[in-house]
Amino acid sequence: MVIVRALSGGVACGLIEFSAEASPHFIRTKRGRNGASAKSRMITDCHIHIQPMEMFKPHALELMKHKRPNFDQIVEFCRSPKAFLKFLDASGIDRAMLINYVAPEVIGFTSGVNQFVADYVKEDPKRLLSCGSLHPRHTTNVLADVEQILRLGLQMIKIHPPHQLLFPNDYLSGAKELEIIYRAAEANGVPVMFHTGTSIFPGARNKYGDPIYVDDVAVDFPKLKILLAHGGRPLWMQTAFFLVRRHPNVHLDISGIPPKTLLKYFPRLEEIAHKTLFGTDWPGPGVPDIKKNLDEFRALPLTQSVQEQILSKTALTLWPA
Ligand SMILES: [Zn+2]
């Protein structure tokens, strides 16, 4: 069995394949026809929530509706990848990582999100990247669930501690399922994204949002590609910055941080640009429009090469085009 082999031998199974071709979209929309340079300018939003809306619990849905004037449009995007791709075009985004995770208690998401996102990205797998998840307490067979994620070809696994009500290092205190998830992800080269920082969804528990608990994961799984979503905003930015500098395998996802405050929170961002990814967290509560987010990021006093690194290159190293 694939996972067992991965766990015992630590050998990549190669279940997840990436294509090296540029899609017609990129050739069409990029300046010039040189595939290599066009790719290097390909902009990836590494954190967009396209998810099965029907799974939302009423309280969580209320918050989304209340905070988003264009809620109907979001429902339509979650239903129609074609409509969403047009929206990405209008927003100036080439690729989007579609974040899905299992959080039955707080949000309502079940492991059905994995099939949802796998089906959704079939519309254009070069532009739509898939993130799925599993929950150590809501699985009867973690090996089978991990294998399903790999077979579906999902390109990232999301762990959301404040919504899943767990600490990232709970494998040290008995949650062996977490260790199996990390080992399989590490062996198969699938990055794991941790939500870090607070959450205002009803029922979210914010003690779990402190990124310091990811330190153990980075130490125990040194080849696991780790992303710290939101850089610990707003309480633990220094911890996040430390972890990215301390561990070669830890990356920063700047989604959910208003670009105007990004350099206030991370004044030494350029030092970690090679491991930093652009993302928006759209359409999360309070997150501005993607295009506005992108424009504000571009207006920051960062060099062209640092901007290109964060908007394009870091994501290309994790998910080659
Ligand atoms: Zn998010």
- pLDDT tens per residue across span 40-75: 689 999 999 999 988 998 888 888 888 787 889 999
Distance 273 CA to ligand 1 centre (A): 21
User: What are the DSSP E strand ranges found in the chain?
Assistant: 44-48, 95-98, 128-132, 156-159, 192-195, 226-229, 250-253, 276-277
Q: Which residue has the tokens 């040290």?
A: 172
- pLDDT tens per residue across span 279-319: 999 998 888 899 999 999 999 999 999 999 999 999 999 99
- pLDDT tens per residue across span 99-135: 999 999 999 999 999 999 999 999 999 999 999 999 9
Distance 216 CA to ligand 1 centre (A): 22
Helix (H) or strand (E) holding 244: helix 237-246
Distance 175 CA to ligand 1 centre (A): 24
> Is this structure's pTM higher than 0.85?
yes
How high is the pLDDT of residue 3? 54
- pLDDT tens per residue across span 74-98: 999 999 999 999 999 999 999 999 9
Average pLDDT of the chain?
A: 89
Q: Which CATH superfamily is domain 42-318 in?
A: Metal-dependent hydrolases (3.20.20.140)
Amino acid at 271: E
